[in-house]
Chain A
Amino acid sequence: MFEQQLLNALTLGSVYALFALGFTLIFGVLGVINLSHGAVFMLGSYAALLLVSKVSLPLCLALLIAMLATGLLGLIIDFLVLKPLRARNAPHLIPMIATIGVAILLTSVAQGLFGAQVQRFPFGTVSEASFTWGNIHITVLQIGIVAMALALMALLLVIMRRTQLGRALRAIAEAPKAAYLLGINVEGLFLLTSFVAAALGGAAGVLIGLSFNAITPFMGQPMLLKGIAVIILGGMGDIRGALIGGLFLGLAEVMSVAYISSDFRDAISFGLLFLILLVRPSGLFGQVLERKA
């Protein structure tokens, strides 16, 4: 029983981490709290759903195309909304509010196009096969989710730590102007970051859509709140933090449902979050950068 709960927590936590990864990436590199990330996540779900049910593409291909499509959407949002604000050097509050506008717009358009009712993937989209090992029961979907989340995260971590591209991104995160003077293509990397972050959000959307199998235009906002919780837990702008924060939130939710009560799921996870805020407002791994006189 306990092992099974641990496995469920790992699956849920991986998706949270994947969602939070894009969120934290944008925050780390662009310094923007992108509140449209939830809406992008929701559209990722719909994209895969349409590709599977209307075009009857295989799931892997649908996932890939959904990631590309949401990545492109992220690129468009960056180009039309965030880039002009960067050019004007707007204070960080302003881009956040602009992304609120984007989120409202996208959610409303999705509601207009797809309707407010819950939609589901057709039966048999994912293989129902499962493995039993001792008293643990694991489905193909769960294996896929965990493997994909961990692989993407590892890839991102390696890129950030070990490659020239990662060094450039970290330089931008530290000081965009200095990075520009060093000859780094700052604007191009901002666009790339927006693309990758949105694609990760879209992937999380497809995976959540598959595992809960209830897609609505409003699924983005609760996820956005969880994303905020995860990156507060893990420290804002920190990739390892997103992984650990995601797993921690997944664990807290699954365990409180299993051993306390499902009513208190959110109360416990957000209560923990609040406690951490009181003790360590910068999160478990983050550092508060403060300008000293």
Chain B
Amino acid sequence: MAEAWQTFWSTYSTLILSIGVNAMLALSIYLTLSCGLLAMANAAFMGIGAYTAALLTVHLNWPFSAVLIAGGLSPALVALLIGIPTLRLSGVYLAMATLGFGEVVRVVVLNLELTGGPLGLNGIPLQTEWWQVALWLLLTLYGLARLRRSKVGRAFEAIKEDEVAARLMGIDVTAYKLLAFVLGAVIAGVAGALNAHLTFFISPGEYGFEKAVDILTMAVLGGTASPVGPVIGATLLTLLPELLRFLKDFRLAVNGLILILVVLFLPRGIWDPLRFRALWQQRRRVTA
């Protein structure tokens, strides 16, 4: 039994841990979406966190917990700086601007000597343990669950529903938007730092447009009504390519098709409490 478990773990641990990391990334975009912001800079924030953390480990030998915290704080600082001008934009304009920012980050990392340029950073020690991923994921989930029922969470929701009405009720819309943006950056940064110490090697290509799109896809596929959805979405989209290996080159086509079908037929995502409630009430009516 123990032996079977060991074989299983040594084969699938990377996959399982990347589910955890991806769940954190999906939660980071869930946070900004819950404030009505369609910001797509999370892949870039993940990259900033990953590079900061990896450089601190490789060059300065910082202890791992300090590295993780620095990995969360460095993108937060960047988010604070770029958030002030860009969060004036709304809707798709913000999405475009943040995608543009993501590309700037990728290209800068690609051309810096410190970050190893296109070759990336090699030989990052494997310091991420499974419990660290679990701990940070649970911490994020707990934080987000508490946030939803707090004054801040309700302010986010008010802004998401109607920005003008929220402002008229005395909510400092700009400050709360910035807060959501910065907190999202922290989560993405920690996820990046965890991931960097999991994969031995990082390169700028991992944090580009495709990753940004992936992260958004996970959140939307799972559903953004509660923190449960993004975790489900991340799990599914991480496992799917493994399950579809037999399709070879057409493997990604299934990914695309599933995405289209979910958007068309389950517009609120897979995890949709409203739909569950409706189904439950329907069943009760039938049995009664």
Q: A: which residues have CB within 8 A of B? A: 27, 31, 33, 35, 81, 84-85, 88, 90, 92-94, 96-98, 100-109, 111-112, 116, 221, 224-225, 228-229, 231-232, 236, 263-264, 266-267, 270-271, 273-274, 277-279, 281-282, 288, 290-293
Contacts and interface: CB of A to CB of B under 8 A. Distances in A.
B95 A96 contact: yes
* Top-5 shortest CB links A-B: A105-B256, A101-B259, A104-B256, A108-B252, A101-B260
Majority-rule SS of B interface residues? helix
Contacts of A232: 96-97, 100
A236 B213 contact: no
B209 A85 contact: no
B277 interface: no
A33 B95 contact: yes
A97 B253 CA distance: 15
Main secondary structure, interface of A, reads: helix
Given A33-B95, A92-B91, A288-B93, A105 B111 contact: no
Contact of A108 (B216, B251, B267): B251
A109 B250 contact: yes
Contacts of B91: 92
Contacts of B217: 97, 100
A168 to B, nearest CB: 23
A216 to B, nearest CB: 13
A271 B216 CA distance: 24
A101 B256 contact: yes
B264 A277 contact: no
A102 B256 CA distance: 6
A251 B242 CA distance: 44
A292 B90 CA distance: 13
B58 interface: no
B108 A228 contact: no
Interface residues of B, number: 47
B165 to A, nearest CB: 8
Name which of B103, B220, B250, B252 has the most chain A CB atoms within 10 A of its CB: B103
Contacts of A84: 264
A243 B96 CA distance: 18
Given A96-B92, A267-B110, A288-B93, A228 B252 contact: no
Contacts of A97: 216-217, 220, 259, 263
Contact of B259 (A100, A107, A116): A100
Contact of B108 (A96, A102, A111, A267): A267
B96 A33 contact: yes
B262 to A, nearest CB: 8
Given A267-B111, A281-B88, 19 more contacts: A27-B92, A84-B264, A100-B213, A101-B255, A101-B259, A109-B253, A221-B210, A224-B209, A228-B96, A231-B96, A236-B92, A266-B103, A266-B110, A281-B86, A281-B97, A282-B89, A282-B93, A288-B93, A293-B167
A267 to B, nearest CB: 5
A291 B165 CA distance: 11
Nearest to B112: A267
Contacts of A101: 255-260, 263
